Amino acid sequence: MLKKLKNNEKGFTIIEVMIVLAIAALILLIVLLAVPALKRNSDNTTMKNDVSTVAGGISEYESNNGGALPGSVTGSNGTATIACSGVGCTGTTSTISISGSTKVVAGAANTAPPATGGTYSPGANTITVYLGYDCATSGGAGSSDARAISLEYPLSTSGGQITECQQA
């Protein structure tokens, strides 16, 4: 009589192990591709919050000082200072909290902010405040307006940083 051959070995076949490894590698690849985008989004959210905080601080300064515009807006290490400057200045100085990595700098005197969407030259985590200028229109520079204040800041994209602008 012929005996039936029985396979008494237990365990996984090499094909089953390879399928599990391929699925695990695919999940790891998806996670590794998503992490940089999540970091960029987090950094962009922090920057937008800081810009809104500085713009709100400028508005509060104007309210507290009878509509007078600040003479300077600067800051780093977690604070921004909105102050009066120049001869005959009577305004009070305001200090607001921003994220510790964000710097606030004044735009070059008598220089309009560049057009949005381009490369941001001051670097990451830097808000540039232009006193007396509107935000730039696409393809052009900001226009001069004695009552305008614009805040230019970078946003990260997968291709680098681009310039955005917000009126205060």
Res 115: pLDDT: 65
- Tell me if 79 sits within 8 A of 98, measured CB to CB: yes
Q: Dihedral, CA atoms, 105, 129, 113, 150, nearest 10 degrees?
A: 170
**pTM of the prediction?**
0.76
23 vs 161: which has the higher pLDDT: 23
- The stretch 17-46 carries a mean pLDDT of 93
Res 140: pLDDT: 58
Give CA 27 to chain center in angstroms. 29
Res 1: pLDDT: 53
Res 67: pLDDT: 83
Looking at the chain, the whole-number percentage of residues with pLDDT higher than 70 is 80
Domain ranges of the chain: 14-167
CA atoms within 13 A on the CB side of 77: 0
Whole-angstrom CA distances from 66 to 59, 60, 62, 108, 136 are: 11, 10, 6, 26, 27
Give CA 98 to chain center in angstroms. 12
Residues present in the chain in total: 168
How do residues 58-111 score in pLDDT, each as one tens digit? 988 888 888 888 888 888 888 888 888 766 677 778 888 888 888 888 887 666
Res 148: pLDDT: 84
Question: Looking at 6-10, 27-31, 54-58, which range is the least confident one?
Answer: 6-10
Q: Which of 42, 167, 59 is nearest to 116 (CA)?
A: 167
Question: What's the rounded Cα separation, in Å, for the pair 158 and 40?
Answer: 8
